[in-house]
Chains A and B, each alone.
Chain A
Amino acid sequence: QSALTQPASVSGSPGQSITISCTGTSSDVGAYNSVSWYQQHPGKAPKLMIYEVSNRPSGVPDRFSGSKSGNTASLTISGLQAEDEGDYYCSSYTRSSTPSYVFGTGTKVTVL
């Protein structure tokens, strides 16, 4: 159950677009449409931002979008805003003898 690989940090100016990658293997990201993304502010619980690769829960701004190609998933934030600053984690189901889930290493997003 190795963690999915994310860049440690990504930054952008207000209004710009940024993309966070999430690289796994053919046993997790590449095998299932289960990639989800979570936003976490300091001292707070994570919040679901994207599920099943590209779906947004109710209440999540449409500037957040998700995609997947092969073993790599991506989260794009368009029109970056100050409140988007925080940590972001991807997650995927992973092939095992029983249900199992793996998270990414996390990416700190800084709004310059």
Chain B
Amino acid sequence: EVQLLESGGGLVQPGGSLRVSCAASGFAFNTNAMSWVRQAPGKGLEWVSAISGSSGGKYYADSVTGRFTISRDNSKNTFYLQMDSLRVDDTAVYYCAKLRGPDWNVLCFDYWGQGALVTVSS
């Protein structure tokens, strides 16, 4: 059974930093691309970032480029989102998701974690 478990959410002041983690199990983690998707309170889904199985490819939405960094540790079946220079509008539930598909241009998010709430407020 595929399981994704986020951790590391919390309250942080504007301009601060936070790292959220996603521990994976139930599938071949080191061969799967993974992604972060966020959802602001009462709003829709927004893709944030994705990383290839080997970490050779790391991709970001324009809204977080230069501030967020995605990484993974295949020995721990865990991947991360380091969030720096946080802004109030980064407040959201951050979901980790497993990507499925033969190539980047046909991927879908086939399994999701339960989400980690990140609140940016003074």
Contact = CB atoms under 8 A, between A and B. Distances in A.
Contact of B57 (A45, A91, A99, A101): A99
A33 interface: yes
The range of chain A's interface size is 20 to 34
A38 B45 contact: yes
24 contacts: A1-B62, A34-B101, A36-B108, A36-B109, A45-B95, A45-B112, A45-B114, A45-B115, A46-B37, A57-B110, A89-B45, A91-B47, A91-B108, A91-B109, A93-B105, A93-B107, A98-B59, A99-B57, A99-B59, A99-B107, A100-B61, A101-B47, A102-B47, A106-B45
Interface in A33-58: 33-34, 36, 38, 45-48, 51-52, 57
Contact of B47 (A32, A47, A48, A100): A100
Interface string B39-51: 0000011110010
B100 interface: yes
B113 interface: yes
Contact of B95 (A46, A48, A105): A46
B50 A99 contact: yes
B110 A46 contact: no
A18 interface: no
Given A36-B108, A48-B109, 10 more contacts: A45-B113, A45-B115, A46-B112, A51-B101, A52-B106, A89-B45, A91-B47, A93-B104, A101-B107, A103-B46
Nearest to A44: B114
Contacts of B106: 32-34, 52, 93
Nearest to A104: B44
Contacts of B101: 34, 51-52
A111 interface: no
B50 to A, nearest CB: 6
A104 B39 CA distance: 12
